[in-house]
Amino acid sequence: MKKLDVAIAGGGVIGGSIALELARAGLRVGVFDRQHPGQEESWASAGIISQAPENPGQIATVELAKRSGALYPEFVAQVEEISGKRTGYRAKGTLQALFLRDAKAELSTMIAVYHGLGLKAEPLRADDARELEPALSEEIEAAVLRPDEASVDNRALTAAVLEAAQRSGAELFPGSAVKGIWREGNTCRGVLLQNEKVEAKWTVIAAGCFSGAIEGVAAYAPVKPAKGQMASLRADDLTIERVLWSEKIYLVPRNDGRILAGATLEYAGFDKRVTAGGIEKILSAAIELAPGLKNARIEETWAGLRPDSQDHLPILGPTDVEGLLIATGHFRSGILLMPITARLIREWITEKRVTADWDRFSPLRFQNEATRTATK
């Protein structure tokens, strides 16, 4: 029987980064993935590192997001050095374009909200925005520049994180689906594979939107898949420096000249098929934001499944089963929240305390909710 300090279920960017942190802290770590690691959502993502909340519900994550964004440059430098691979990190800021008639009023509200949250944001007139990003439509009314935001090539990042974790001593076990946790009384003694038990002092569930299907975990990680479709474009006569947003879409430039356009948000179960309607929606919004894209070539389309929780917030931290931790539910922000997730899980395992207030994200909050509903 394998004996580890930490068994991690799921080798996406979250499981991989936790493995890296823990292996570097000297622990024996195994990452079990039911397929080749890094081929699910971390592969499908857009890789935007944006601390600005997309809606009021996301304000709860801003403090985590700010810490994670601040950790990024150092994290990426370390991963690149250890793995010998590039991650395509681009710290060039993001620019949100407004098409609204009442853009001025909207703009001052947005700036006030961002500043209130301690985020850097500058209002721009349409002309000034187009001077920075000439590809932007003539129809935009104003824009917000968020200079501290960034992007990363999530596929390259995931591969580099997994390589760095291995080079730091973590073992990867591809094709090893975790069926359930190995629970004895109130203690998690490790994980159950198809025909094997793996003993571990700590078990971390980081299986993205599949986490809830692992036996013994559903109550702590009730996540459902939220499908996102994306397209990769290449345009010969158009360049984009920063991530661009409109109310409908984002465009993410990569170092190799590709421009990613995304993404839909659909609740369609575990269906990852790309649809004509989804791609039509993305492409028309992309051309509205940057009209020159109408001549761009479509290089690739794909879809991925985000792990969404009832309150759309991450699920992070220990459970009431000794030794069992959860790190999932990152929904639209798993790339952004990767460094802080890995840091906090490592702190808890090695020091039994964390340097952030993560109670809000506790895996126990769903049980509390269930208990409250049952006793009403």
Q: Which stretches of the chain bind ligand FAD, using CB under 6 A?
A: 9-15, 32-35, 37, 39-42, 44-48, 177-178, 206-208, 210, 214, 228, 230, 262-263, 304, 306, 328, 330, 332-336
* 357 neighbors 340 (Cβ within 8 angstroms): no
Our CA dihedral for 356, 359, 362, 368, rounded to 10 degrees, sits at 180
User: Between 48 and 107, whose beta carbon lies closer to ligand FAD?
Assistant: 48
Question: How does DSSP classify residue 251?
Answer: E
User: Between 210 and 220, whose beta carbon lies closer to ligand FAD?
Assistant: 210
List strand residue ranges (DSSP E) for the chain, in order: 2-9, 29-32, 48-49, 94-98, 122-125, 142-146, 150-151, 171-173, 180-184, 187-192, 197-205, 224-234, 243-245, 250-253, 259-262, 297-308, 315-318, 324-328
User: Between 14 and 142, whose beta carbon lies closer to ligand FAD?
Assistant: 14
Distance of closest approach, residue 88 Cβ to ligand FAD, in angstroms = 13
User: Using CA atoms, how far apart are residues 73 and 180, in angstroms rounded to an integer?
Assistant: 36
* 123 neighbors 107 (Cβ within 8 angstroms): yes
User: Between 64 and 238, whose beta carbon lies closer to ligand FAD?
Assistant: 64
Distance of closest approach, residue 165 Cβ to ligand FAD, in angstroms = 12
Distance of closest approach, residue 105 Cβ to ligand FAD, in angstroms = 28
Distance of closest approach, residue 305 Cβ to ligand FAD, in angstroms = 6
Distance of closest approach, residue 376 Cβ to ligand FAD, in angstroms = 33
Distance of closest approach, residue 372 Cβ to ligand FAD, in angstroms = 28
Nearest Cα residue to 227 out of 341, 306, 311, 337: 306
Residue type, 330: H
CA 366, 372, 375, 376 torsion: positive or negative?
negative
Nearest Cα residue to 146 out of 124, 179, 178: 124
User: Between 24 and 155, whose beta carbon lies closer to ligand FAD?
Assistant: 155
User: Between 142 and 261, whose beta carbon lies closer to ligand FAD?
Assistant: 261
Distance of closest approach, residue 185 Cβ to ligand FAD, in angstroms = 23
DSSP β-bridge partners for residue 183: 188
Residue 73 CB neighbours (<10 A): 13
* Residue 263: cis peptide before it, omega within 30 degrees of 0: yes
User: Between 232 and 333, whose beta carbon lies closer to ligand FAD?
Assistant: 333
* 244 neighbors 251 (Cβ within 8 angstroms): yes
User: Between 34 and 189, whose beta carbon lies closer to ligand FAD?
Assistant: 34
Distance of closest approach, residue 140 Cβ to ligand FAD, in angstroms = 21
